[in-house]
């Protein structure tokens, strides 16, 4: 709900990458000539939304499953929402595991998972907005 209130119309972003950039979930880039170096997150944009995404990302530490509250929330949703939800669970959990196994710091891992979560949220939000129009 935090994202919907703060962002409003998701269709104003042509791609999930634009939304990620807007939220400050992309790395800084230092480039000169042929060399390119990436740094920490830009952290521009709404810090509350960024925090909500990173906090949400912690749930992807657990194996994908549709049970409990999630099963209730998915009742009556479109097939697109069901498919995207399951795809997100699998992909974000595997991303979490991959980064942790590579020895990445947990906070950095959660920021990366949160950034990828934005793509799935954008997909569902744009689909919902188009169906309402």
- The per-residue pLDDT for 35 is 87
Q: 70 Cβ partners below 8 Å, 6+ apart?
A: 85
pLDDT at residue 109 tops 90:
yes
- The per-residue pLDDT for 95 is 96
pLDDT digits (tens, 9 = 90+) for 9-26: 999 999 999 999 999 888
Give the distance, in angstroms, between the CA of residue 52 and the centroid of all CA atoms in the same chain: 10
Nearest-5° Cα angle at 22, 112 to 62: 25
Q: What is the pTM of this model?
A: 0.85
Domain ranges of the chain: 2-132
- The per-residue pLDDT for 1 is 86
Kindly report the backbone phi and psi dihedral angles of residue 36, in degrees, each rounded to the nearest multiple of 5, phi listed first.
Answer: -135, 130
CA pair distance 27, 129, nearest whole angstrom: 29
Q: Among 27-41, 45-59, 66-80, whose mean pLDDT is lowest? A: 27-41
pLDDT at residue 133 tops 80:
no
What is the band of 86 on the pLDDT scale with cuts at 50, 70, 90? very high
pLDDT at residue 43 tops 90:
no
Give the distance, in angstroms, between the CA of residue 19 and the centroid of all CA atoms in the same chain: 10
pLDDT at residue 39 tops 90:
no
The alpha carbons of the chain give a radius of gyration, in whole angstroms, of 16
- The per-residue pLDDT for 30 is 85
Which residues partner with 82 through β-bridges? none
Helix (H) or strand (E) holding 27: strand 27-32
């Amino acid at each position: 709900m935090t994202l919907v209130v703060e962002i409003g119309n998701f269709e104003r972003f042509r791609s999930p990458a634009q939304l990620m950039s807007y939220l400050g979930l992309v790395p800084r880039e230092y480039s000169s000539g042929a060399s390119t170096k990436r740094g920490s997150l830009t952290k521009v944009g709404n810090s509350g939304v960024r925090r909500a995404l990173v906090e949400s990302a912690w749930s992807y530490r657990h194996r994908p499953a549709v049970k409990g509250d999630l099963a209730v929330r998915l009742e009556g949703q479109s097939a697109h929402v069901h498919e995207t939800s399951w795809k997100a669970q699998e992909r974000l959990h595997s991303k979490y595991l991959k980064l942790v196994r590579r020895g990445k710091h947990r906070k950095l891992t959660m920021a990366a998972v949160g950034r990828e979560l934005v793509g799935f949220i954008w997909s569902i939000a744009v689909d919902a907005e188009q169906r309402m129009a």
